[in-house]
A and B are shown apart, each in its own frame.
Chain A
Amino acid sequence: MARPLEVSTGSKLEMIQRVLRRSPTTDSDTGTESDSAVAVRLEGVTHSYGSAGGQLRTDRDRTVTALRDVTLECQAGDIVGLKGPSGSGKSTILHAIAGLLVPADGTVELLGTDLTSVTDRDRTRLRRRHVGIVFQRFHLLSSLSARANVALPLVQAGVPRSTRRDRAETLLEEVGLEDRTDHLPGELSGGECQRVAIARALATDPDVVVADEPTGELDTATGSDVLELLTDVGRERAVVLASHDDDTLAVADRVITLRDGAVISDGV
């Protein structure tokens, strides 16, 4: 198991060094050996929306059980697919991995650190440094160029402007958008927007990438390009991919099937 993270030492300098480090195979920040370590582990996770433990305070009047005793793990270098119909708990698992919610019961370990036992501030810090998120609807700021959208997480990290710019351009080049750096999201196709979103997710060089229906808004051909890109990303990181589409899940090394918040099969 990976050594627990020192969450309180997340200085800007470390982040800058991290960003400058290209294609890491080991995490000098934590000493984790990425290839063999467990990046994500959920153990006995139960969560209900409307319960006291949640940050997502939707539908408070009714309690909806989103996860029931979910246990799973994902190693660095793995692409794990989450399969299931709407409401089966896929997004909730992704939110739990990203530290966006604290489950009512169970533990969520990210690189060996139990996210349920740290403060909100530390969860946010861990998410910034170790988790990249890819959304179904891209969620790019329409008024910023592709480069500025990619660089935005680096602003938060305190990375100098010229470094941010270089890093964003390099990432856009890696996702095949080197000639689209100055374009606004409105001037890009859906596939290109998702590539920008993936580049943004990789800006801080995260150890774990969570992707929620990343091809949901894309046609089949564009979707397969994006999946290929995510597969490349997955060679160095742990990727957790939620989808109800079998073609999308075909790129996963392992598919976990969910129904009504419970794991009904883990394709180990």
Chain B
Amino acid sequence: MAELWLLSLLLPVFGALLVLPLCRYATLSAGIAAVTTVLAAIPGVYVAMSLLNGQPPISIAYAWSLPGGALQIDVDAVSAFFLLPVFILSPLCAIYGGAYLHQVKGKLLGVHWAFFLLLVASMVLVLSAGQVFLFLVAWELMSLTSFFLVAFDHQNKEVKQAAWVYLVASHLGVTLLLGFFLYSSQWSGSLFFSDFEALRAIPQHQATGLFLLAVAGFGIKAGLFPFHVWLPEAHPAAPSHVSALMSAVMVNLGIYGILRTVTWLPQAPAWWGLLLAGFGIAGALYGIALAAVQQDIKRCLAYSTVENVGIIFVGLGVGIYAVAAGFSAVALLAFAGALLHLWNHSLFKGMLFLGAGNLVHATATRNMNQLGGLMKRLPATSMLLIGGSVAITALPPFNGFISEWLIYLGLLHGGLEMPRAMGLPLLLLVSLLALVGAMAILVFVRLVGISVLGNPRSAAAASAHEGSILLLAPPAILLAGCVLIGLNPLPVLDLLRAPVVLLIKTELLPMLTLTAFTGLGRGVWLLLALIAGMALLFFVQRHRHPAVVAATWGCGFALPNNRMSYNATAFSELAHNHLLPRTLRPEVVTAPVTTFFPQAVQLSQQSSDPVLNRLLQLFFTRIANLCQRLRWFQQGRLPIYLLYIFLTCIGLMVWSLRVFGGG
């Protein structure tokens, strides 16, 4: 087992070393990346599956010459749960990326692939690290390699800006994590995670401090609202296979960190759970509301990631809340729903980013207003996108439905079974989650309807055509995974048993009862038959009365063209004028019509992230202004700098005398 795990870690590293000298050969290096990730995935998936099926955890220790460092590897069921998406997504993204970057000229693609492989390896290491230093090194490696992947198109000013935002955000996160780990390791007296058991005895207010540090530090990586600001910047800027890997896998690692923290700290009080759920639902509402007004298709998907992460946190928060209140059945449902939603999100968000990447690849634009009419030109991609959208909006028979169903069940059970005041927040969450669901449908109807259906709105969209099979197979495999989980959720729920037991910490309730609770598996085949029947009926109808092809009524314009059709801005007009609060609304620039006769009027809409632009930017500008005063120290004259060194030396001498007490 341990050897297999090691193989899955070392193969990507080996691939990265192999790719670097060959970085001039684009196809070869992409091939190496694909082959090594596939080869690493085979033992990796095997190890993860066997751990999830109840094998004992892997523990390996190697010596490391770094002071305080040790190569302590601990892989348990929770790690395995998060490792599985890494090993499934990374080969698919590598295969896809090879074809996606095929047209790129004048870049050393080998370097890109080396970073990609190192990112995969570092994610595996983050999930397996059993020691503070090792964890932080791997975490930092992950942030840096993904920074370079985001900055792929670094000549582009926006991309550069986005990459900087990402780098700054992740380093702020690491700073918080450093504080968290230093404090915890000092308290427990050891740098090994296995000794963090001692933290269970930590006083409550210190535990709360540590928890908040961890939520902020890991929350930045997870895209938890309000720490999500890098996400909508970095995802559109990165190449699509990188966005898919980051959004579907890397974001999970932040959630992993928070879960690990919860298992280390003493029994969480109920309000921690409510806090997480509160952040979660706020993020879900915020993310989906902003997704509804984006014109950039990948930015829209990035906001949808914020939404889904929010939903996952609602599940986790409710789980913690229920454990604290002693309702393990509710906790079981909520945790299972959250974890399953995490897997599901990996599948469909990876799929959607790859599908959107196909549109970008074919039309060279991410602006939905420039797309349209791609159903006829890119039929396979369009069908994939429609499938992914159905999955992400939690409609049966896809997987999103199952996980959200579990979360809803948890909320409803909790709301009804708990004493009144305690159940109230859960019932409130039900209605808010339903609002999120409705908004999600709006967003994805808009995404599919504007970018895929209708007639092309630009020359690029009109002349688009489908790419190679390598661009279609990876998203298709992911979509197949979505359908599989949607139709046959019971075996998947069985896999969740081990991680959920670790989270609930009590085995009062055998996981088997989960299936009894949910009623899953009974109605699915009936549902499937119903859908098949409806489809059949639809095709029969179509066949009997074929659709009449005629021009759309052009509202009285003499020569209507495709640019006059509904676009993304128009579609979301209702949402942003009547649904969204004023702070979230996009900026609309237009001039009122003043005369009776027609004249040229322009309207443009620009959406910016309110948290980033109104809060954080203001905050950091203020800090920068304060720091301006420190510029006084930078005199630019060598003697002054030497004086600083001199004074430091003298200070250290005096200090050493004080400390060592003199001879």
Q: Do A and B bind each other?
A: no
Please list the residues of chain A having a beta carbon within 8 angstroms of any beta carbon in chain B: none
Please list the residues of chain B having a beta carbon within 8 angstroms of any beta carbon in chain A: none
